[in-house]
Amino acid sequence: MTTTTITNNADRSRYEMLDAGVVIGKAAYLDDVAADQVSGQRIFYHTVIDEAYGGRGLAGQLAARALDETVAAGLLIVPVCPFIKKYLGKHPGYAANVVAPTPAHLEFVRASLSRRVPR
């Protein structure tokens, strides 16, 4: 494995981990910035690392970068994704920036994903 890089691919609403330019992992999100919210929210709904790269702690690296950049951008974290939820449980330093998912968040994700055109 060469050196991996992590980037926010905002056009695809996901953080990507790349190895030699090939996407090997992603943390997908949706930004929910309603006018009545004090702060916008970033809803993380799916995180995955290619099976061939499993067991190396790469998902944790991807999560840390995605969450750090989310907090730095002034957005609150909504952990719908089981991996992100588990990661946050092990890293309580993010607690002040986390909003528990509600049925409205889940509906927002469902509705947003149903409108997407496959790429």
Write out pLDDT tens, residues 66-114.
999 999 999 999 999 999 999 999 999 999 999 999 999 999 899 988 8
Could you give the dihedral angle defined by the CA atoms of residues 55, 92, 8 and 105, in that order, rounded to the nearest 10 degrees? 110
When pLDDT is averaged across residues 47-70 and rounded to a whole number, the result is: 95
User: Is residue 37 scored above 80 in pLDDT?
Assistant: no
Domains and CATH numbers, the chain: 4-115 (3.40.630.30)
Coil, helix or strand for 112?
helix
Q: How far is CA 64 from CA 94, 110, 114, in A?
A: 10, 25, 28
- The sign of the torsion formed by the CA atoms of 14, 17, 22, 23 equals negative
pTM above threshold 0.85: yes
Give the pLDDT confidence score for residue 1 in this predicted structure.
47
Give the pLDDT confidence score for residue 117 in this predicted structure.
61
Give the pLDDT confidence score for residue 103 in this predicted structure.
93
- CA nearest neighbour of 71 among 99, 112, 37: 99
**Whole-number Å distance between alpha carbons of 27 and 6:** 10
Mean per-residue pLDDT of the chain: 91
